[in-house]
Chains A and B, each alone.
Chain A
C-alpha cells in the first residue's frame, strides 16, 4: 500500500543482509539472497478518504465507525477528510485512493446504469465509470445481456448480476439515509410531494401568494453547504457536480423521467424501429430557444451526442489520439452509435446492440448549444501547456451557462451564492403551445428567482431557514439538527427517503483490495443496521445492493435480520475478534501480535 515505506524497509533489510554477508562469506550470501526473496511481514494498511463534517453530516462518522471495525480485525486504518472537489478529484479522476466513503449518485438506481459503474471496459475511465477498477468477466457478460434482452431473460440476468456483485463487493453499501431538511412553509407549500434531489422537484413547489411576507417578491432561497455550483455550472464536470440538480434545471434533455416513466420533454415524440440495433426518429418540440435567443435545432442535438462521445469531436480524424469522451453521461452516451439530422425538426438515433427500452435512456442527457460548445473541443491547457487527455469542454466553468431549461442564469458570486430566474420563454411557461399536458404532469416554476446561498455548515443552514433568510436547506442537514428544527416555529422538518446511499468504495487496483475474498471479508466487518441506528439515529436503513426496493431487486438480497450475503462477523455493532480473525485466516492472512499480516504486497 505505502510503496515508499515498503521500498525503504526492503532496502534496509537488503543493506542489513549485505553487510552481514560480506562479514560471513559466500555461503551466507547465498542464504541471504534466498531470504531476500521473501517479503518481510507488514501489517495491512488502509486509508479511507471522505468528507469533513461541515460538508456532509454523516460521511466522516460512518468512515470512523467502519475504521473502528477494521481496526478490531487487526488492520491499520486511518481516515482522511477532504473537501468535495478534492475528494472527487482524487478518487474519481486520479483513482488515488484505497477506500472512500461517498454517496453514490441517484442515477445508479436503474439497472442499465450499473453498466457504466461496474463494466471492466470502464476501469480506466475517469468519473463514476467503474472508479473501483472492478473487473469480473461474468459481471461484464451479465451487464451486456441485460442491455440486449427483455422480459424474464433480462430479469434473470439482473438477478445473477446483483448476486455476484453482492458477493464480490466492488463497494459496500453502508446505509441508505433519509434526507433531513429544514423548510419554511410561510412562502411556499407542497413540500411533502417534492423530491428536492431531482430537478423536477423544484417544479412541483407551490407558491403561497396570499401571505407573501416579502411583498410580491417570490424568490426561492436555498441554503446549501456545497459551494461548488457557485463556481462552476458545467454539466460535464466530474468534480463540481453532485446530482446535477441545478444544471438539470438550466439544461433540458430530450426526455425526463416522471414517476418512473420516460416522458418526451424537448422531444415532441419518438418512434423506435423493431430491429436488433434499434433506430429511433425523434421529433423536436416547435419553437424552442436557447437562453441567449438562438433557436434550438436538430444540429444541437446531433452535436451534443457527438460531443459526449468524444469531446475533441474527432479533431485528429487520423485516429492517432484516443477520443476523449465526457465522463459524465458516459453510460448513456455509450448506448448511441450515431445521431443524424434528418429534417428541420427531426433527428435519427442509431443505437448499439440494445433493446429499445434501454436505448431510450440516452434521451435523458442534457442537450448543449452547438454555437457555444463547438469552441471547447481543444485540448485544455494552462499558459499554452497541454494537460493531457482533457478538453476545454470538460474543465470549463461554463459561466454564464446558455441552456434551454426552465431556469436561466442571472449571476454568481463564487463561494457565496448563485441566482437563477424563471425563463418565461420556456415551453412550460407559455400559455399557448402543446405543453399543457406536460405541465399537468411536471408542474412549472412557481417562483421568479432561485437564489442559492452558501453556508458554512448544516447548523448554520438550519439557522438561515429559522431566521427567515432561506426557505429551505438544499442538502440534507443530518439527524443532529432535528431538535433545533423542532424548536423553531414556522420551520418544518422534511424527511424524505433518499435514493443516494453511502457507499464504501474499494480500489480493486490496490494490493489486498484486488482480492474479492478480502473485500467480501471486509464487508463482513460492517454492520449496516448498526450504522443506520446509531450514526444516522434511525434516519436510514441498511441495503445490500444499489437497486434495493426496485422491481429488479432479487428476494435473496432483502435485508432480513442481517445482511444475507456478507453477514456481520459480530453482533450489535461489535466485531467478534475471534470470528474476524478466523475469516481472514481462511482468506490466507495471518496474525502477528493482533496485527493482520499477509497477502501479496
Chain B
C-alpha cells in the first residue's frame, strides 16, 4: 500500500516538475545549465549535508521524541481549542466537495512539488544565493519544528472535535494516511510544518523574485492554498498555522542573517556566528 502511494506521488510530482520547468525557467536563464548546476551543487554541499543530517536525525528521533514529549511536553490541545474555538469547524463548513478535492491534492502533491521544485530550478540558475538560502531555511524549519514537537503535545481538530470537524483528507483518500503516518505522528500538530515550509518557499521566492519572475505568483498561490488546506482538511488548528508562519519568517530571516552576517556582507567572518556563517556559506 505504501509503495503504491509513494509511486503515485513520485509520478504526479515528476509531471508537475516538467510542467513547472517549462513554465518558469526560460532558456536564456539556464544556458550552460549543467555546468552551473554542478558548480551550485558543490557550493551548497555543506548546507545540504546539514539539512540531510537534520532530516536523518528527525527520522530517527521522531519515535523517540514522541516518547519524550509525553514525558516533558505540555498537552496543549484544550488550550488551543480554548484560544480559537470553532474557527476550523466554521472554515470547514464553507468548503465544497470540489474544494476539498483541490485541497487534498495540494496538501499531498502540491506540497511535495512546492518544496522540491525550487531546489531544481534554483540549482540551474547562475546565482547560488537562493538555493543556499532555501536549504538553510529548510534546515532551520525542521530543527526548530522538532523542538516545538517535543515541547508541545497536541491533537489536531479532526482528532479533537469529530462532531464538528471531519477528517476530510483521510475520509476521501484513506491511503494518503499510510504516507502521512510515515512522515509524521498525529500528536505533532504544533506548529504546522506544511505551513512553515510552504511559506518559507514563498518568502524565498519573494526575496529572490528577480531569479525567476514567474515563480513568485505560483509559489505564493500554492503556499496560500496549502496553508488553508491544512485547516480546511481538519488537520491543523489556526494556532498551528500562525505558529507555522512565524516559524517560516524566523527561519528565512535566520538564513538571511547567516548568509550575509548581521550587518550585511561586510560583517562576514567576525566572531563565532560569522565564522559559522562563513563555513556554512563557503563562498563559491
Contact = CB atoms under 8 A, between A and B. Distances in A.
B23 interface: no
Most buried by B among A53, A86, A414: A53
Interface in A70-126: 78-83, 86
Interface in B155-198: 155, 158-163, 167, 170-171, 174-175, 177-178, 180-181, 186-187
B78 A79 contact: yes
A72 B240 CA distance: 30
Contacts of A61: 162-163
B70 interface: yes
A39 interface: no
B248 to A, nearest CB: 26
A80 B178 contact: no
Contact of A455 (B158, B171, B177): B177
Nearest to A51: B159
B163 A414 contact: no
B63 interface: yes
Contacts of B19: none
A78 B75 CA distance: 12
Contacts of A459: 167, 170-171, 174, 177
A60 B160 contact: yes
Contacts of B167: 53, 457, 459
Interface string A379-419: 00000000000000000000000000000000000110000
Contact of A456 (B160, B163, B186, B187): B186
Contacts of A307: none
A233 interface: no
Contacts of A414: 63
A52 B159 contact: yes
A75 to B, nearest CB: 15
Nearest to A467: B1
Contact of A54 (B78, B159, B178): B159
B77 interface: yes
A53 B75 contact: no
Contacts of B70: 82-83, 86
A82 B160 CA distance: 10
Interface in A436-483: 455-457, 459-460, 462-464, 467, 469
A60 B159 contact: yes
B186 A52 contact: yes
B1 A456 contact: no
Q: Interface size bucket, A side? A: 20 to 34
Given A456-B181, A457-B167, A460-B175, A53 B158 contact: yes
B75 A82 contact: yes
What does DSSP make chain A's interface, helix, strand, loop or mixed?
A: mixed
B174 A462 contact: yes
Contact of B155 (A52, A460, A463, A469): A52
A53 B159 contact: yes
Nearest to B79: A78
Query: In the complex, which of the residues A54, A65, A82, A469 has the most CB atoms of chain B within 10 Å of its own CB atom?
Result: A54
A85 to B, nearest CB: 8
B170 A80 contact: no
Nearest to B172: A459
B159 A463 contact: no
Nearest to B77: A81
A65 B177 CA distance: 27
Interface string A55-67: 0000011001100
Given A52-B155, A78-B78, A80-B75, A64 B161 contact: yes
A81 B159 contact: yes
A64 B187 CA distance: 19
A56 to B, nearest CB: 10
Contacts of A86: 70
Contact of B186 (A54, A79, A80, A415): A54
A482 to B, nearest CB: 13
A456 B178 contact: yes
Interface string B57-78: 0000001000000100001011
A463 B160 contact: no
Contact of A52 (B78, B160, B177, B180): B160
Contacts of A456: 170, 177-178, 180-181, 186
Contacts of B163: 61, 64-65
Interface in B73-103: 75, 77-78, 82
Interface in B123-180: 153, 155, 158-163, 167, 170-171, 174-175, 177-178, 180
A535 to B, nearest CB: 8
Contact of A460 (B75, B162, B174): B174
A464 B63 contact: no
B170 A457 contact: yes
A72 B34 CA distance: 69
Contacts of A455: 177-178
A100 to B, nearest CB: 14
Nearest to B174: A463
Contacts of B187: 83
A404 to B, nearest CB: 32
Contacts of A464: 1
Given A83-B70, A459-B167, A60 B162 contact: yes
A462 to B, nearest CB: 7
A42 B177 CA distance: 44
Contacts of B78: 47, 78-80
A463 B175 contact: yes
A457 B159 CA distance: 10
Nearest to A535: B163
A148 to B, nearest CB: 43
A443 to B, nearest CB: 30
Nearest to A47: B78
Interface string A303-341: 000000000000000000000000000000000000000
B37 to A, nearest CB: 37
B58 to A, nearest CB: 16
Contacts of B180: 456
Contact of A415 (B63, B153, B175): B63
A437 B77 CA distance: 55
A478 to B, nearest CB: 10
A131 to B, nearest CB: 19
Contacts of A457: 167, 170, 174, 177
A457 B160 CA distance: 14
Contacts of A463: 174-175
Interface of B: 1, 63, 70, 75, 77-78, 82, 153, 155, 158-163, 167, 170-171, 174-175, 177-178, 180-181, 186-187
Closest 10 CB pairs of A and B: A463-B174, A456-B181, A52-B159, A456-B177, A460-B177, A78-B78, A459-B174, A460-B174, A52-B155, A53-B159
Given A52-B186, A460-B177, 20 more contacts: A64-B161, A78-B78, A79-B78, A79-B160, A80-B78, A81-B155, A81-B159, A82-B75, A82-B153, A83-B70, A415-B63, A455-B177, A456-B181, A457-B167, A457-B177, A459-B171, A460-B174, A460-B178, A462-B174, A463-B174
26 contacts: A52-B155, A53-B158, A54-B159, A54-B186, A60-B159, A64-B161, A64-B163, A65-B163, A78-B78, A79-B160, A80-B75, A80-B77, A82-B70, A83-B70, A455-B178, A456-B178, A456-B181, A456-B186, A457-B167, A459-B170, A459-B171, A459-B177, A460-B177, A460-B178, A467-B1, A469-B1
